[in-house]
Amino acid sequence: MGDSILTRSDLEAVLASIHETIFADNKEAKEGSNKSTFEAFLNSAVFSKDAEGVSEKSMSLSDFRNWCIVMPSLRKFLGSLLMPPDSGRAGFQVPLLHYPENISSELLLLNKEYAWHIGGGFSQHDVQEWKLLYHSSLHGQSFNTFLGNVTNGDAQTVLVIKDTEGSVYGAYASQPWERHSDFYGDMKTFLFKLYPEPSIFRPTGANKSLQWCAVNFTSENIPNGIGFGGKPHHFGLFLSAGFDQGHSFTSSTFTNPPLSNTGRFRPEVIECWGIQVKGSNDEKPDLVKGTVLERFKEDRNMLKLIGMASASD
């Protein structure tokens, strides 16, 4: 196999190595980790390159660059492998998930692999703790309960939705949920997909239609509910105040496709996590040590992927 060839099966092996490095070698992250979720990250990859003597299509440099755009955690991981050993380096940090004992982890939409994926969209590298603030199965499908829970603490939140067709997606809100008659927020906000094709969609700067929270307005021009991107009645992602319906359309705010299979959807599960960033002086878990040459010197496919990462800089 040529040095420039990376097929889907090669990438499966690489992702298995990455999962072992991030989760299996980290006691705190290993507990409750889900390898099958990690394998689903392949669904966001494209293989468009024909290679002589190989039946499978391979990943071109352009394919790789596009994959890294929607999978920033992967890009951070690969970029950090050639750096000196550091347990807190980018791409290795797995958020700590905290939720009540009376809710089973099987009911949660978010798991550690998905949290790692979403966390790649953040600028900070410190260890993060995510606390479950709202879950529709636990608190009921209520907009008022949601607002009461999420406005009583953490400013940064991650909203995750599973619709009745099985797709899972959401958004990171960098600002508190507050009543406004217009868009607000900052450029840290982004949309994401988790299933079936994990991806992250950052703001483009095309407009400032970032975060929306309208409560008890009577004007048809101000739809009550929470949303991100686009414009009123045509958001990048929107949940109505009844929490019983929503929509997701293409938006220039994030250059996102519709996150749901169809433009309009009905939520089956809604959950929201509050994010707390631990300071750099707090104790961090021991993670992988050593450079890529020490750990992956026998892994040809990993070395190829890292080579592509270097070439794409």
The full 3-state SS of 118-153, as one line of letters, equals HHCCCCCCCCEEEEEEEEHHHHCCCHHHHHHHHCCC
- Asked whether the beta carbons of 126 and 95 are under 8 A apart, the reply is no
Is the predicted pLDDT of residue 284 greater than 90, yes or no? Answer: no
Q: How do residues 165-218 score in pLDDT, each as one tens digit?
A: 999 999 999 999 999 999 999 999 999 999 999 999 999 999 999 999 999 999
Q: Residue 52: which pLDDT band, with cuts at 50, 70 and 90? A: confident
| pLDDT for res 92 | 73
More confident site: 109 or 301: 109
Angle between helices 300-311 and 8-19 (to 10 degrees): 100
More confident site: 54 or 136: 136
Q: How do residues 239-276 score in pLDDT, each as one tens digit?
A: 999 999 999 999 999 999 999 999 999 999 999 999 98
When pLDDT is averaged across residues 278-297 and rounded to a whole number, the result is 49
Structure tokens at 151: 């406005």
Highest mean pLDDT among 42-56, 122-136, 237-251: 237-251
Give domain limits for the chain. 1-70, 132-276
The pLDDT mean for the chain works out to 85
Q: Residue 282: which pLDDT band, with cuts at 50, 70 and 90? A: very low
Q: Which of 61, 22, 65, 19 is nearest to 40 (CA)?
A: 19
| pLDDT for res 127 | 59
Whole-angstrom distance, CA of residue 43 vs CA of residue 310: 23
| pLDDT for res 288 | 43
Whole-angstrom distance, CA of residue 309 vs CA of residue 65: 8
